[in-house]
């Protein structure tokens, strides 16, 4: 039983696997979880970016290994999981952050683009979790953090495939919680508002849209990546032991208005 409230946020004995760690939100989650003491396994396709992040983290005495893999390739899933588990002997926290938004109008969506979106955003999070959960259950504790979206709850322009996938992520989060929480594996999702990353570059290229989106929040600005640090560490830690199946919006009040 933890008696000091702040001790409950420590991740010193934990190992986190973060997909989509080569950039944007995943890279920031790595910085946040590492600063709270976790050892990290970083996964994405871009080896150069993963290596650069590993070096940046090492400068802060944060231990990180990386695995360069294309998660759209089903053949790589088992090897990613096996390699990840062998890096530090266990995975306690899975951050399902790799994602894609192809920004197509309904008329432009093809069977292939639909599948890419649903597979990376929904199927990969489930399949990786399904493979990692048994070892978490054997240790009696584990965490899954999915990444939902404003589009889990709102329909935005050119977001039909992405919105369907993020609506699914919200329900996947509740279903994972139902399936695994009683065995010690909690599952929640972070739903970010608008944050400037590769995925939202097209939005941030337009100062008018950026300003309009900022005005739609209650706080009056779009997100800074550091705004996600607190919720990431919290959901990964024992401080969130009684929270599961929740989608937590970190959106400056966008969905409150």
Ligand X SMILES: NC(=O)c1ccc[n+]([C@@H]2O[C@H](COP(=O)([O-])OP(=O)(O)OC[C@H]3O[C@@H](n4cnc5c(N)ncnc54)[C@H](OP(=O)(O)O)[C@@H]3O)[C@@H](O)[C@H]2O)c1
Length of the chain: 257
Residue 210 contacts ligand X per CB under 6 A:
no
Asked if 159 interacts with ligand X (CB under 6 A), we say no
Which of residues 7, 13, 70, 178 is near ligand X by CB under 6 A?
70
- Tell whether residue 22 is a contact of ligand X (CB under 6 A): yes
Kindly tell me the sign of the dihedral angle through the C-alpha atoms of 14, 17, 23, 25.
Answer: negative
Q: Which stretch binds ligand X (CB under 6 A): 1-9, 127-135, 194-202, 235-243?
A: 194-202
Out of 15, 24, 92, 123, the only residue in the binding site for ligand X (CB under 6 A) is 24
In the complex with ligand X, the residue whose CB is nearer, 199 or 233, is: 199
DSSP 195: B
Name which of 46 and 171 has its Cβ closer to ligand X: 46
Complex with ligand X: residue 11 or 147, whichever CB lies closer:
147
Using CA of residue 56, residue 58, residue 59, residue 62, what is the dihedral sign? Answer: positive
Answer positive or negative: Cα dihedral of 5, 7, 21, 88: negative
Nearer to ligand X, 7 or 73 (CB): 73
Candidate residues 54, 65, 90, 97; the one interacting with ligand X per rule CB under 6 A: 97
Nearest to 68 by CA among 41, 96, 30: 41
User: Which of these is catalytic: 66, 88, 162, 249?
Assistant: 162
**Coil, helix or strand for 90?**
coil
User: Is 88 tagged catalytic?
Assistant: no
Question: Of 67-75, 104-112, 134-142, 232-240, which segment contacts ligand X by CB under 6 A?
Answer: 67-75
SS3 217: coil
Element (H, E) at 94: strand 93-96
Contact 159, 101 (CB under 8 A): yes
Residues that bind ligand X (CB under 6 A): 19-20, 22-26, 44-46, 49, 70-72, 97-101, 120, 147, 149, 192, 194-195, 197-200
């Amino acid at each position: 039983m933890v008696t000091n409230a702040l001790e409950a946020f420590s991740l010193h004995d934990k190992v986190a696997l973060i997909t989509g760690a080569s950039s944007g939100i995943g890279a920031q989650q790595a910085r946040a979880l590492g600063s709270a003491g976790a050892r990290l396994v970083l996964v994405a396709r871009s080896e150069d970016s993963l290596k650069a992040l590993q070096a940046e983290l090492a400068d802060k005495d944060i231990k990180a290994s990386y695995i360069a893999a294309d998660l759209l390739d089903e053949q790589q899933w088992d090897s990613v999981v096996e390699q990840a588990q062998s890096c530090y002997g266990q995975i306690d926290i899975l951050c399902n952050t790799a994602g894609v938004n192809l920004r197509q109008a309904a008329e432009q969506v093809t069977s292939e683009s639909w599948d890419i979106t649903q597979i990376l955003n929904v199927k990969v999070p489930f399949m990786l979790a399904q493979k990692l959960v048994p070892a978490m259950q054997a240790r009696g504790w584990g965490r899954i953090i999915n990444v939902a979206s404003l589009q889990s709850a709102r329909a935005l322009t050119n977001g039909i495939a992405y919105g369907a996938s993020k609506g699914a992520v919200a329900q996947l989060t509740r279903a994972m919680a139902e399936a695994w929480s009683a065995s010690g594996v909690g599952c929640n999702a972070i739903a970010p508002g608008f944050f400037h990353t590769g995925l939202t570059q097209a939005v941030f290229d337009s100062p008018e849209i950026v300003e309009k989106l900022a005005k739609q929040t209650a706080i009056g600005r779009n997100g800074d990546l550091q705004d996600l640090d607190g919720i990431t560490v919290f959901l990964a830690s024992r401080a969130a032991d009684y929270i599961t199946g929740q989608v937590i919006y970190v959106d400056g009040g966008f969905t409150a208005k």
